[in-house]
Structure 1
Amino acid sequence: MARFSSLLTLVTLSLAGLASAGNSCIAFDIHWNLLAFGFGGKDYDAGAKDTWASGTATDITTSGRPPFDKANPTCYLAQYFNAIYVLGADSSKPSSVYIYDATAKSWSTQDVNANGFDPNSYNAILDHDTNVFYALSKGELYSLDMGQLKAANSTPLAWNDVQNPQLGDYQPVMALAQNHIHFLNVPGVPAGNAKIFVIHFSYLQPEPQSYGQFPATHGQVTSFFMESGVQQEFAFIPDDGSATFVINVETNTTQTLKGPAAKDPMATYFASTDSLVQLTSSGSVSYLPYTPGTASANSAATWSPVKKLPALAASGSSSGKPSATGSSTATGKGASPTGALGGSNGALAISPSAQWSVGGLLAFAIAALFL
């Protein structure tokens, strides 16, 4: 029985590690340091891209942080304020926004009234210039004005119903560029096209915009930041991970780059000015270097692991995160990504490989009874 007890403990710890991998999120600060939140119950600063191949990330865990006990939290960078907004990281306060001041390295919690917005089912972006969240939740478009917050105030904010964009039965794929929301894979819209919501005029353009060649399928999206000014490009990674499509809304063109090595439909993404980072549902982190305006370098670029972080992801966490869209559906993740059910950051789900691992571990535990 002692042997079985040891085996059962091993299985329990392994299951805990699997459950926790989906409760983390990544973001960049304005100096393009990669931040990893909810990794083994801790938060880390992995530094700039040229340091990711070796070394140890800096532990930035401090008081006031979210518990990361809810699946599929999503992180967003408010570039003007060097603040990271985290949605969906506290099961006891599902509507609250946690704010990490990346300059002061401190956390605060902003209370938010949902007003019909479902914090468990949405896909969101954070607009660069207005600092307003826009989220599609159960077919309705909502907004949340974050003002100039880099720390919470005592007055609750509120989600507001903007409009019903009439996108049909749609699992959101939402991207931000030029202060416009780009809806990909909308029913009835051809491949290579997007429906556009003009944020400053609260206007959904009646006709889709063509951007070249990318498939009409569900996937994850995140915007490439610029040193200053609004984003002009975003990356689209289909759920099958077959390629990485970078859409430029200034030239209305699309580059086709290599897909991530980890083909994970539950992965989330965040981009800086020159890197696209993937966080898989198992907790591994990798990146694709990107050079704006240099097609030859981009087509030759390959994905590499962020070696500072994988060991941290494997250490377990205070919560579990299978996957979500930060939007939710899955997106919302980061000025671009997101958090709740699919899309940029969304619904709770465990990848097939993770499910197999759970089943295998349980079978192993049962077999141990007869040893």
Structure 2
Amino acid sequence: MPSTLRLSLSASAALVAWLASSAAPASAKPCVQFDASWNLYAFGGTEDVSLGQNTTWGSPTASPLTTTGRPPWTGNNTQCFLSQYNNAMYVLNADASNPSDIYVFNFDAKSWSKQATSSAPDLSTGTSILDHDTNVFFTLPSGSSASLYQLDFGTITNAASSSAAAWEAVSATSFQQGGQGAVLAEASNHITFFNVPNNPAGSANMFVVHYSYFQPEAVAYKTVNNAAANFPTQHGKAIGVPTTDNSAGDVMVFVPDDFSNSYVVTHWTSPSTAGQTSDAPAGIADYINSTQTFSAPTSHDTDSSYAASDSAMVQIDSTGALYYVTGAFGNGWQVPSGLSWQKLGYTLAGVTSTGSSNSSSTSSSTAASSSATASRSGAASSGAAAASSSAASKTSSAGASAGSAAASASASAKTGGALRSLNGLEVTLVSVALSCFGLALVF
């Protein structure tokens, strides 16, 4: 092959790569989170922003946050957690190149820091929770033989330390996971595991954090307050709902991949006596181990992320569109009827859909919808479940300290995504440009 032709092909290939990298939008995994004063933040796009209180969300003023030290938001399983005691946000799996690093955002100082960890499990699969009282992470990667892990952030609070924090294996689970893995959330310092195979609808396994113990049998939840149904045994997303007084929350919201409903799941157990419920707070007795429902989120996107304040819930989908519902919590554990999702008057720019299973919005509460693909997985399976496994206590109580965190993201460009995004006239122009470029080098 003539050297001039080889040069032209090499130069053309280089131009293709350059065009792809410069034309591709950011490939980010966005998330939303609240600070301890219930201001909303959105992360993972071209910039990270503060969106204020829920009274402004119809037409919010988006205030950009610092880009110094922000994560690249390239992980495929990013999760953001509020440490309410410390007014900080912790971000897991935000950097695909360094998946064990955890980013800390101080909401008070509006600053980022990065915490190194060691002996980390696979954070690219499964889900995690942050225990409210101890500031300890618990993570369960997907896989039938996966064990529960923990990471103590009790001394890290709202800024990273100079030494690596070590993950520890806690215990094998009392159940086997299915293909997509269990979905974790926390209420009353108990980790609830949704999507455990063979559990009937409305049943979930539990791990008691303060005793480091898997309960031997799945817990059955009753439906109350005219719930449309009980939560299905399938994959989805789950979050804990924080409280106004910064005590351990008793409420979780589970959004299954079929978007049948938003399931509000309540659990309470005495923090001092395992399994004791006789001294429950006033008004919660009828709601212990119960399920209520309200409408499914607006965007039927399984790549959505969620956050809750003491009264509101927010969804951000994989296109950066935001939706919210207010008044869902803080009503003496009763979920009001007729709740509807609304479109938040801001879309996080620079976010591209991951293209994994999701579908377009079908909610009638808003005219706004988010486009996505139509395949979703997960079907409810019936049966009985659970065996038992206790573990040595590994958690340590962390004192409450004031501080802060919140966060977000620059993202890497993807060559394939950029080329796919070029179409029609753009492709023609690029092809002509490449041809001319090659001919110029030949001659």
Into which bin does the TM-score normalised by the smaller protein fall?
Answer: 0.7 to 0.9
Cα shift at 1:81: 0.4
SS at match of 2:291: strand
Question: In 2, are the aligned partners of 1:71 and 1:323 still within 8 Å (CA)?
Answer: no
Change (3 A) 1:300 1:68: same
Cα shift at 1:241: 1.5
Q: How does 1:266-285 map to 2 (within 5 A)?
A: 266-285=303-322
Structure 2 counterpart of 1:26: 32
Q: Which string of whole-angstrom CA distances, capped at 9 and with x for unpartnered residues, describes residues 163-200 of structure 1?
A: 11042133121111000100112112111011010011
SS at match of 1:80: helix
Which letter does structure 2 place at the counterpart of 1:259? A
Instruction: Give 2:171's match in structure 1, choosing from 163, 174, 189.
Output: 163
Which letter does structure 2 place at the counterpart of 1:39? G
In 1, distance between residues paired with 2:23 and 2:194? 35
Cα shift at 1:26: 1.2
Change (3 A) 1:129 1:295: closer
Cα shift at 1:69: 2.8
Change (3 A) 1:296 1:187: closer
Cα shift at 1:254: 1.1
Instruction: Give 2:242's match in structure 1, choosing from 209, 217, 225.
Output: 225
In 2, distance between residues paired with 1:361 and 1:298? 43
How many positions carry a matched residue from both structures? 326
In 1, distance between residues paired with 2:231 and 2:124? 29
Structure 1 outlier segments of 4+, above 6 Å:
11-15, 294-297, 357-360
In 1, distance between residues paired with 2:338 and 2:130? 31
Q: How does 1:138-177 map to 2 (within 5 A)?
A: 138=143, 139-149=146-156, 150-170=158-178, 171-177=181-187
SS at match of 1:128: coil
Indicate yes or no: 2:259 matched with 1:254. Answer: no
Change (3 A) 1:297 1:359: farther
Cα shift at 1:283: 1.4
Indicate yes or no: 2:248 matched with 1:242. Answer: no
In 2, distance between residues paired with 1:295 and 1:153? 38
**Greater shift in the superposed pair: 263-272 or 196-205:** 263-272
Structure 1 or 2: more strand by fraction: 1
Cα shift at 1:135: 0.3
SS at match of 1:175: strand
Structure 2 counterpart of 1:198: 208
In 1, distance between residues paired with 2:133 and 2:333? 28
Q: How does 1:32-47 map to 2 (within 5 A)?
A: 32-40=38-46, 42-47=47-52
Instruction: Give 1:122's match in structure 2, choosing from 106, 126, 149.
Output: 126
In 2, distance between residues paired with 1:12 and 1:24? 22
Instruction: Give 2:112's match in structure 1, choosing from 107, 111, 118.
Output: 107
In 1, distance between residues paired with 2:343 and 2:319? 14
Cα shift at 1:298: 2.6
Cα shift at 1:56: 2.1
Q: Which string of whole-angstrom CA distances, capped at 9 and with x for unpartnered residues, describes residues 335-370 of structure 1?
A: xxxxxxxxxxxxxxx95269xx99985664698579
Q: Which string of whole-angstrom CA distances, capped at 9 and with x for unpartnered residues, describes residues 249-300 of structure 1?
A: 1322111100112111121111111111111112111111113336887321
Rg comparison, structure with higher value: 2
SS at match of 1:50: helix
Structure 2 unaligned blocks of 5 or more = 1-15, 223-229, 269-287, 357-370, 376-416, 433-443
Question: In 2, are the aligned partners of 1:84 and 1:100 still within 8 Å (CA)?
Answer: yes
TM-score, normalised with respect to structure 1: 0.80
In 1, distance between residues paired with 2:95 and 2:337? 40
Q: Which string of whole-angstrom CA distances, capped at 9 and with x for unpartnered residues, describes residues 283-334 of structure 1?
A: 1111111133368873211101121x31xx2x315xx67289xxxxxxxxxx
Q: How does 1:9-88 map to 2 (within 5 A)?
A: 16-17=24-25, 20=27, 22-40=28-46, 42-88=47-93
Change (3 A) 1:323 1:159: farther
Indicate yes or no: 2:365 matched with 1:322. Answer: no
Cα shift at 1:27: 0.8
In 1, distance between residues paired with 2:297 and 2:23? 26
Q: Which string of whole-angstrom CA distances, capped at 9 and with x for unpartnered residues, describes residues 6-29 of structure 1?
A: xx9xx9699834x62x42211110
Indicate yes or no: 2:330 matched with 1:292. Answer: yes
Which letter does structure 2 place at the counterpart of 1:322? T
Structure 1 unaligned blocks of 5 or more = 1-7, 325-349
In 2, distance between residues paired with 1:190 and 1:152? 42
In 1, distance between residues paired with 2:119 and 2:296? 37
TM-score, normalised with respect to structure 2: 0.67
Cα shift at 1:71: 3.0
In 1, distance between residues paired with 2:342 and 2:127? 28
Identity of aligned residues (%): 38
In 2, distance between residues paired with 1:321 and 1:201? 41
In 2, distance between residues paired with 1:143 and 1:239? 27
Instruction: Give 1:302's match in structure 2, choosing from 311, 335, 340.
Output: 340
